Each structure stands twice: as C-alpha cells, then as structure tokens.
Amino acid sequence: MHEMSLCEGILQIIEDQAKVQKFNRVLNVWVEIGDLAGVEIESLLFSFDAVTRNSIAEGAKLNIIKLPSNAWCMMCSKTISIKQRYDECPDCGSYQLQVTSGDEMKIKELEVG
Amino acid sequence: MCTVCGCENGESRIEGGALSTNHEDHHSHHEHEHEREHHHYGKGPAHAHAPGLSQARMIQIEQDILGKNNRYANDNRNHLSELGILALNLVSSPGSGKTTLLTNTLNSLKEELPLSVIEGDQETSNDAKRIRETGISAIQINTGKGCHLDAHQVGHAIQALSPKNESVLFIENVGNLVCPAAFDLGENYKVAILSITEGEDKPIKYPDMFYAADLLILNKMDLLPYLDFNVEHCIQYAKQVNPKIQILKVSAKTGEGMEQWYQWIRLALQKNLIGFKSSSHKIQEST
C-alpha cells in the first residue's frame, strides 16, 4: 500500500534533479529494489503511472532492477542467500542470521530529454 | 504546499489543520536538509544506455527513495535526543488493543514520568480524545489516504506538541503491519503490539514489521484459555524473523504483565539519559 508514497518519493527526487540538471522530460527511470524491501513491483509500476500524471515524468518508463538478498550466518561465519527474513541457513539450519543486503530502495539513474 | 521544503501534504492534517501550519519553527531544524543532498551524476552526453539518441542523456542519481523521510527522521532523532526525550513508535494491526494499552500505561505512569502522545489515524481524533481524558497532552495526525505516519508529519507534530525535556513520547502509528515498517520516524524504539486474538503466525506473515521492532508485546493474554493461540509458536516465529527481539506477555485490560512493560519503559528512559545531564543544564541555562 505504501508503493504510492514511494512513487511520490521517486517523483520528488526527479523534480529536485530537474531543477539542478535542467531537464524537462524524463524518458526512463531505473530503480533498484531489494527482494526484502517489502515492495510489490506490480503495485509500484501502477502507482508510478498514477503519481507521475501531469508531471515532468509523465509517460516515463519505470525500470526495476531487482537485487537479491543475502545474510551473514553467525554459526557458519559466511554469507548465504535468503528469500525471506524468516529463512533458516540452508547449511546449518540456524536462524541467527544478519541480513546484509536486500532491503535497498534506490533510484539509480534517469534518461532525460 | 510548503514553500520551504516543497512538502506535498496531500490529505494529511494535524488536529484538523493543514500540515504546513507551523512551518517556520519546523524548518529551523530542517534548514540544512537541502544542503545535505549529494549525488554524483554523469556530465555530458549519454553513455551506452542510449546510443544515438540525440537529446536524451543519462543522469546517475544513486539516491534512496526514502532518503527524504530518513533525513527528516534524523532531524527528529537529533532534536529529541537534545531534549533527552525517549520516543517509542507503537505499531500493530487495527484492533490489537494499542490505544487501551496506551491509556492504561499513561494512567499508571503519569505521576512518575512526564509523558506525551502523538496519535496517528487515517481519520477522526477519537483516539487523541481518549488519550486526553487521561490528562496527558496528545496531538492527532490524520493521514487521510496515507497508510502510515512519516517523519515529516511527526516533525510537525513534535513542534506543535513540544514535549518536556527528559520525557517519554509515545507515537501511536496507524494500525497497519506493513507500511509503517519502512518509515523511520526518528524514534528510539519500535514496539510491535500483537494481540493473541490474531494468528500466531503474524510474525512470519508480516516479517518486515517484526524485523524492525525492538520489543514485541503480546496483548490480551487474559483471553488465552478461550483461544487456540500457541504462545510458544508465536514467540518462535518472532525470534526466527528477529533473533534480537524482546517479548512481553501482557493483558492491558486486567493489568497482568503490565509492570514489566512499565519497567521496560523506565529502563529505556534511563538508558536514553545516560550522558544527558550535562547537556540538559546547558539547554536550561541558554533558554
């Protein structure tokens, strides 16, 4: 449900950049979203179109770069790949995991005209 | 719209007033916000992404989508820590008994500690009214269509409420186990409240929230004999998502276990005030 707010955040960053970088049209937006960021991609794409209507980013395409999530297993002392926050270590079965990546939400770059 | 930071308030209101009412004060501790943005972007023509497109160019941004919220949250956190205020962000699904837990907490601690409350709901100020009946000052934020409180709204509410030095500020978030997890408000701790009339697997159904929480309060424990809720499983799920989470079992209605929660608050406030005394004197002298 907060995808709408995220899109407003994206648009805000784009509008700030437009002033600094002097552009008035956005063609493409690349965002990085981690697997654990809690973002529903479909909903993000839908909201993006709605939020950018009548803005500088109207009609721009939102491109999603999905990032995998990793965690540090304290028992095995190594990095493992996880899908959910409640996953266990595939090797030792421990839940003593420190998530190290996968909650990113970042605007990477823009193609502007 | 706020002309200083360009905040789009949409439908959110603080106590019936538009969000941008108190801006001059508010921006006094936000004014450095714009300077802090930094980004490295490619200069000149487009690189490999767009060969042959004459006018188009690529701009690298590398900015967190929630960066703006996080900056406001840091401002709130710095402001609160200068005043020695302990801020607790209470999160739960609707109907977990959060407001009852809070009013009983206020009634039990009000003689002992200075307290104040920020109430977040989509609509109505019913909860703020309930809180004020305890004699504690409270301010309502209505988020309109919003499903969570954000740090910007809370910054305004803190200005309007002006909580006392060395006090406890409770922020009752919108009842929602999904969205408030992502929005830092500048609180010291997130406290998740889960009533045992909900499913015991809530912690793994909504892992982001329980991962973000520092303390889990299992509420409505008085109903346990009538339910199929397995407390051990629930605790196990919560620890699976967040091995560091602390868990308390209470009934806000009967008072069972509530003393532990009060003790937790007292300790958190004490911990927050370590090293604070000297700065407290400075603040008092200068005002």
Q: What is the pLDDT of residues A32-61, one digit of tens each?
A: 999 998 899 999 999 999 999 999 999 999
Q: Is residue A47 part of a domain?
A: yes
How many angstroms separate the Cα of B135 from the Cα of each of A86, A95, B158? 42, 44, 18
The alpha carbon of residue A25 is apart from the nearest alpha carbon of chain B, in Å, by 9
CB contact under 8 A, A86 and B6: no
- The ranges assigned to domains in chain B are 70-274
Q: Where are the alpha helices (DSSP H) in chain B?
A: 23-28, 33-36, 67-82, 98-109, 126-132, 151-161, 202-205, 207-212, 231-241, 258-272, 277-286
What's residue B135's pLDDT?
95
**Residue of chain A whose alpha carbon sits nearest to that of B211:** A85
User: What is the amino acid identity at position B232?
Assistant: E
**Residue of chain A whose alpha carbon sits nearest to that of B148:** A2
Q: What is the ipTM of this complex?
A: 0.80
What's residue B123's pLDDT?
87
- Tally the domains of chain A: 1
What's residue B34's pLDDT?
43
Of B37, B57, B179, the CB nearest to A112: B57
d(CA B279, CA B82): 8
CB contact under 8 A, A38 and B146: no
Model confidence, pTM? 0.80
Q: Is residue A45 part of a domain?
A: yes
- B159 contacts: CB under 8 Å, gap ≥ 6: B22, B25, B26
Of A1, A86, A97, the CB nearest to B207: A86
CB contact under 8 A, A105 and B8: no
CB contact under 8 A, B58 and A109: yes
Residue B228: other Cβ atoms inside 10 A: 8
**Residue of chain A whose alpha carbon sits nearest to that of B53:** A113
As beta bridge partners, residue B139 has: B118
Q: Is residue A36 part of a domain?
A: yes
Which structure tokens are listed for B252?
């806000």
Of A15, A38, A99, the CB nearest to B178: A38
What CATH number corresponds to the domain at position A40? 3.30.2320.50
Chain A CB contacts of B53 under 8 Å are 111, 113
d(CA B50, CA A42): 25
As beta bridge partners, residue A32 has: A65, A106
What's residue B55's pLDDT?
65
**Residue of chain B whose alpha carbon sits nearest to that of A108:** B62
User: What is the amino acid identity at position B153?
Assistant: Q
User: What is the amino acid identity at position B23?
Assistant: H
CB contact under 8 A, B243 and A95: yes
Which residues of A touch chain B, with CB atoms under 8 Å apart? 1-2, 4-6, 8-10, 12-13, 15-17, 21, 23, 27-28, 31, 36-38, 84-86, 88, 95-97, 99, 105-113
Look up the domain containing A55 and give its range.
3-68+101-112
Which structure tokens are listed for B72?
């406001």
Of B55, B64, B69, the CB nearest to A113: B55
The alpha carbon of residue B64 is apart from the nearest alpha carbon of chain A, in Å, by 4
What's residue B7's pLDDT?
56
d(CA A85, CA A71): 9
Strands of the sheet with A61-67, listed across from one edge = A61-67, A26-34, A105-112, B57-64
Strands of the sheet with A78-82, listed across from one edge = A78-82, A69-73, A97-101
d(CA B190, CA B266): 16
Yes or no: is domain B70-274 CATH 3.40.50.300?
yes
Three-state secondary structure along B151-193?
Answer: HHHHHHHHHHHCCCCCCEEEEECCCCCCHHHHCCCCCCEEEEE
Exposure string over B75-92, b if 16+ CB within 10 A, otherwise e: bbbebbbebbbbbbbbbb
Q: What percent of chain A has pLDDT over 90?
A: 79
What's residue B3's pLDDT?
38
How many angstroms separate the Cα of B16 from the Cα of each of B19, B141, B143? 9, 8, 11
Cα B273 from chain centroid (whole Å)? 20
Closest listed residue to residue B15, CA positions, set B180, B132, B178, B168: B132
The strand pair at B17-18 and B57-64 is best described as unpaired
What's residue B183's pLDDT?
93
Interface test with B, best of A4, A98, A109 (most B CBs within 10 A): A109
d(CA A3, CA A38): 9
**Residue of chain B whose alpha carbon sits nearest to that of A9:** B65
DSSP string, A69-80: EEEEETTTTEEE
Interface test with A, best of B7, B59, B93, B184 (most A CBs within 10 A): B59
CB of B213 closer than 8 Å to CB of B191: yes
Q: Is residue A84 part of a domain?
A: no
Q: What is the pLDDT of residues A84-101, one digit of tens each?
A: 888 899 999 998 888 899
CB of B106 closer than 8 Å to CB of B262: no
pLDDT tens string for chain B (287 positions)?
443 344 555 567 777 666 644 444 444 444 444 444 444 444 444 444 544 445 688 988 889 999 989 999 999 999 999 999 999 999 999 999 999 999 999 999 999 999 999 999 988 888 999 999 999 999 999 988 778 999 999 999 999 999 999 999 999 999 999 889 989 999 999 999 999 999 999 999 999 999 999 999 999 999 999 999 999 999 999 999 999 999 999 999 999 999 999 999 999 999 999 988 654 444 444 44
